[in-house]
Amino acid sequence: MTNTMAEVSVTDKIDVKNIPVDVQLHKPGKTTPGRYPSRDRIYVRAMKGMHQAIRRYMGFFFMGLFMLLPWLRYNGEQAILLNIAEQKFSIYALTLWPQDFTILAWIFIIAAYGLFFVTTFYGRVWCGYLCPQSVWTFIFMWFEEKIQGSRNQRMKLDQQPWSFNKFSKKFLTHLCWVAFALFTALIFVGYFTPIDHLFLNFFTLQAGFWATLAVLFFTFCTYGNAGWMREIMCTHMCPYARFQSAMFDKDTFTVAYDERRGETRGPRSRKDTDYKARGLGDCIDCNLCVHVCPTGIDIRNGLQYECINCGACIDACDDTMEKMGYPKGLISYTTENRLQGKGAHILRPKLLGYFAVLLIGCLAFAYTLHSRQPLEFDILRDRGALFRDTSEGWVENTYTLRVINKSQQPQTFVFSVSGLEDARWIGPTELTVAGGETASLPISLAADPWELAQPVTDITFTVRVEGQPDIEVSQTNRFFSRR
Ligand code: SF4
Ligand code: SF4
């Protein structure tokens, strides 16, 4: 009874479609019966078209940026260096320390809500166009295509017995994959360790244990993910694939097949102009949309979580439609409401909510960045004794002033204290610290106990940056005496 009620409420909200289980037509006749059927290899057919051109140019641009950025210099240093060992991230003039965690947190919040916003509006375009897994996979497919040939040639090659020709093509493909994976792994590790020595040191076995391990690890992961795992990463391992449906609504743009226009599908000749009279729709059942799909799905079966919104099936179908003389757009980026003939609703509460949080995150990030002081100031009291008597009958307290120069230039810091009248400062009052370095200054304060009103006096240390009067950081502490 309970089950029946649950079924009624679920089907009330969601249009359930029966999807045939044998839609993945990659390598027929090679499935293992049982709970975990073996994975059929997907032979992706190369396709040209507007969406593939956009994806390719975006890939070139961001891959170029990825490869270029670690080589840029700023003030004689690597401009972007995320030094985990020293716990400081340098990005041009900005150096982030563990104390700047809030800035990093805002960056992550902005990235997360940016992704939520784009997903609600335009589905999984991140996956199809920018996700490193997709970008690297498409590059690896390009190597495969150039060395082993077209989809049909690759399928034929795999069915052939091993020969010198087959071995040399396979060997060259894997060699290119490993070389590209190694090269990009070196670039990636170059964001975390000085890149100018990394390449030479790696190949001369002088890169150090952790750098070498990191390069080998990322080479292995890239080769494995883009060469072997491919769509498995997207369909079984990526958490985003699982929760993105929570952001979708009926006005989210996704790649979709216009079933009302396309069905009933069926082959026909180009000259056949009265196919509609025979009950046929515009889909000629050429299966091109399936052959070009990197995740091996048939978009005609409806929205599926495996779809990465790459648009390859749109280009393939538009190509077919053009050849047949039909209007393009049988498969397109569209919304569920549009497919049902309802209007589009761009401004909707969920989208506006994500946008509002995104805007707040950007403003908070800008404010945190703007109000960030270029120094960090701490005071440590001498743990050995609360105070010490001097030969003149005064009491002396010892402190260690610790300052982090968060800028990238050397700075001279000037220290002072308030709250303790007529106190004597014993030690230097200035300290010059190199950019991005930490330095400590042990000092003592001496005071006449008869001039103090109580045994514990609250005092304030202040540090200023020489030549920058508007930068000043204060810390409170206490002065102990015997009265
Ligand atoms: S169904 Fe179309 S958009 Fe989705 S992954 Fe396959 S080719 Fe790309
Ligand atoms: S490419 Fe277009 S016409 Fe060909 S099977 Fe797919 S939807 Fe039908």
Which tens digit of pLDDT belongs to each residue from 174-212? 999 999 999 999 999 999 999 998 999 999 999 999 999
Give the ligand with the smallest distance to the CA of 303: 1
Q: Which range, of 2-11, 255-264, 348-357, averages the lowest pLDDT?
A: 2-11
Question: Which atom in ligand 1 lies closest to the alpha carbon of residue 255?
Answer: 3
Residue among 52, 255, 304, 314 to mutate when testing ligand 1 (max atoms within 8 A of CB): 255
Measured over the CA atoms of residue 137, residue 140, residue 146 and residue 150, the dihedral's sign is: negative
Q: What is the separation of C-alpha 414 from the centre of its chain, rounded to a whole number of angstroms? A: 41
Task: Enumerate residues 6+ apart whose C-beta is below 8 A from 336.
Answer: 250, 251, 252, 256, 303
Q: At the fourth CATH level, which superfamily is domain 375-480?
A: Immunoglobulins (2.60.40.10)
CA–centroid distance, 306 to ligand 2, in Å, is 18
Ligand 1 pocket member 309 (CB < 6 A): yes
Ligand 2 proximity of 297 Cβ (cutoff 6 Å): no
Among the bound ligands, name the one nearest to the CA of residue 322.
Answer: 2
Task: Determine the pLDDT at residue 44.
Answer: 93
Q: What is the pLDDT of residues 335-360, one digit of tens each?
A: 989 888 887 788 889 999 999 999 99
**CA–CA distance, 10 with 398 (Å, rounded to integer):** 71
Q: How far apart are CA 321 and CA 309, in angstroms?
A: 20
List the domain boundaries for the chain.
Answer: 375-480
For the cut 50, the answer to whether the pLDDT of residue 4 exceeds it is no
Query: Across the strands, what pairs with 425?
Result: 445
- The string of DSSP letters for 267-327 reads ---TT---TGGGT--S-----HHHHT-TT---GGG---TT-----HHHHHHHHHHHHHTPP
Which band of pLDDT confidence, cut at 50, 70 and 90, is reported for residue 259?
very high
Helix-strand-coil percent breakdown of the chain, rounded to 5? 45, 20, 35
Q: CA-CA distance, 125 to 414, in Å (whole number)?
A: 53
Q: How far is CA 205 from CA 163, 187, 212, in A?
A: 36, 17, 8
End-to-end alpha-carbon separation of the chain, Å? Answer: 82
299 lines ligand 1 (CB under 6 A): yes
The token pair that represents 94 in the structure block = 């900005």
